């Protein structure tokens, strides 16, 4: 049996983050919908640059930044899926350099 590709594993793990977050009282419903509609890698590539997404901030506030999409992007097995600019942005967001308290909405339609 062939092992799942890194893209498929990333997608599945990103969806699994929803349940992990929910166990801490946070349900990133819009993130989950965007991932389902667009695929995990494409969603991460787009959302990492999008202002107004507060999921990471919520996870930092509850002391669980490791449950974030950004943290998952930085796992060694997934680094090859992302450009240097995407990796840099994920690192900066985790470091708190791009925190914004705006309450933006994620797009819900696949592009």
- 91 in any annotated domain: yes
- 56 in any annotated domain: yes
Alpha helices in the chain (DSSP H): 6-22, 29-38, 40-47, 55-61, 69-73, 84-95
- 108 in any annotated domain: no
User: Rounded distance, CA 79 to CA 22, Å?
Assistant: 26
Per-residue pLDDT, 53: 63
The answer to whether the beta carbons of residues 94 and 61 sit under 8 Å apart is no
- 111 in any annotated domain: no
- 19 in any annotated domain: yes
**Domain count along the chain:** 1
Digit-coded pLDDT (tens) for 22-37:
898 888 888 899 999 9
Range of the domain at 32: 6-95
Per-residue pLDDT, 24: 87
- 17 in any annotated domain: yes
Tokens of 55: 């999921």
To the nearest whole percent, how much of the chain has pLDDT over 90?
A: 56
- 110 in any annotated domain: no
What is the sign of the dihedral through the CA atoms of 43, 68, 72 and 94? positive
**Segments of the chain with pLDDT less than 70:** 1, 52-53, 97-111
**Mutual angle of helices 40-47 and 6-22, in 10-degree steps:** 70
């Amino acid at each position: 049996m062939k092992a799942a590709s890194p893209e498929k594993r990333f997608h599945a793990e990103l969806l699994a983050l929803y349940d992990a977050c929910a166990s801490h009282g946070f349900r990133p419903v819009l993130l989950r919908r965007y991932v389902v509609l667009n695929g995990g890698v494409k969603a991460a590539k787009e959302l990492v640059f999008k202002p107004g997404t507060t999921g990471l901030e919520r996870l930092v506030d509850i002391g669980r930044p490791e449950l974030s999409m950004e943290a998952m992007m930085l796992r060694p097995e997934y680094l090859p899926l992302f450009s240097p600019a995407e990796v840099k942005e994920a690192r900066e967001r985790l470091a708190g350099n791009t925190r914004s308290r705006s309450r933006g909405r994620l797009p819900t339609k696949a592009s």
